[in-house]
C-alpha cells in the first residue's frame, strides 16, 4: 500500500536541524490512524524494546538459567531473530545492518581490551562467522561490508558520547540510502519513524547529560565485561 497523503504531510526533518522534532506520541497517533494493521506491526517491530519484547515461556525460563554476559547476548539474539524473520525486505535489512554494526564495533572493542570476541558476537551470518574466526586486522570484512572502514573508525572513538552519535549518524545515512527510492511506501514511513526516534533521543540530552549517561553505561559494562554499545 502507498501512503501519498501521509508522507506528503509529514514535517521535514534533517539530522543536524535545529527545528523542533515531531513529537513521537503525535506521530504514532498519525500512523495508527492511517497505516494498515500489518504496517503498524512493522512500526511496532522496529520500535521493540529488547528488555520488553515478548518471550515464550521456554525462552523466559532459559534466560533465567543464564548469567551475564550470556543472558544479554541471548536476549540480543532473540531481538535480531525477530527482526530478521520479518517479511518486509527493508525492515529485515535494517535489523541485519544493526546486527552487523553492533557486532563489528563489539569485536573491535574486544580486541582492544583483550576480551573474548567469539563469545560476544551475536548471530550466525557471514559477518558474525568472520568476526569469530578471522585473525586479519579487518576480519576480512571489507569485501562484504561496504562501509566497514567507517564503522571501524567510529569504533576507535574513545568518547562514548561522540561514538554513540557517530553510530546514529551511520544509521541515519543507511535509512536515507535504502528508503529514498521506495516512493510513498511503508519503507519511507518506517525510515521516517526511526529517524524521528534518533532525533528525539539526542534532543533530550545535553552534551553533559549524554556524557554522564554513557559513563554510567561504561561502568556497567566494566562490571560485567560485556563490551556492548
Q: Is the pLDDT of residue 46 over 50?
A: yes
Among 82, 83, 78, CA closest to 93: 83
pLDDT of 145 reads 97
Evaluate whether 10 touches 192 at the Cβ level (below 8 Å): yes
148 cis-preceded (ω within 30 degrees of 0):
no
pTM for the predicted model, two decimal places = 0.88
Among 50-64, 130-144, 213-227, the range scoring the smallest mean pLDDT is 213-227
Site of grid cell 524521528: 196
Q: Is the pLDDT of residue 226 over 70?
A: no
pLDDT of 202 reads 85
- What's the pLDDT tens digit per position in 175-222? 999 999 999 999 999 999 999 999 998 887 655 555 555 555 455 444
Amino acid at each position: 500500500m502507498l501512503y501519498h497523503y501521509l508522507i506528503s504531510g509529514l514535517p521535514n526533518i534533517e539530522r543536524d536541524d535545529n527545528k523542533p522534532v515531531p513529537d513521537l506520541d503525535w506521530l504514532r497517533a498519525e500512523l495508527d490512524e492511517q497505516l494498515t494493521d500489518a504496517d503498524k506491526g512493522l512500526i511496532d517491530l522496529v520500535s521493540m524494546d529488547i528488555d520488553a519484547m515478548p518471550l515464550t515461556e521456554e525462552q523466559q525460563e532459559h534466560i533465567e538459567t543464564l548469567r551475564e554476559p550470556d543472558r544479554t547476548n541471548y536476549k540480543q539474539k532473540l531481538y535480531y531473530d525477530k527482526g530478521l524473520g520479518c517479511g518486509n525486505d527493508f525492515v529485515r535489512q535494517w535489523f541485519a545492518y544493526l546486527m552487523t554494526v553492533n557486532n563489528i564495533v563489539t569485536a573491535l572493542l574486544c580486541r582492544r581490551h583483550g576480551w573474548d570476541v567469539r563469545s560476544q558476537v551475536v548471530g550466525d551470518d557471514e559477518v558474525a562467522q568472520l568476526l569469530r574466526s578471522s585473525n586479519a586486522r579487518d576480519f576480512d570484512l571489507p569485501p562484504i561490508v561496504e562501509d566497514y572502514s567507517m564503522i571501524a573508525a567510529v569504533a576507535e572513538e574513545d568518547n562514548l558520547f561522540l561514538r554513540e552519535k557517530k553510530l546514529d549518524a551511520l544509521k541515519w545515512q543507511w535509512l536515507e540510502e535504502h528508503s529514498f527510492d521506495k516512493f510513498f511506501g511503508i519503507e519511507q514511513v518506517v525510515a521516517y519513524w526511526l529517524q524521528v526516534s534518533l532525533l528525539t533521543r539526542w534532543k533530550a540530552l545535553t552534551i553533559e547529560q549524554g556524557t554522564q549517561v554513557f559513563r554510567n553505561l561504561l561502568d556497567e559494562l566494566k562490571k560485567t565485561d560485556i563490551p556492548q554499545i
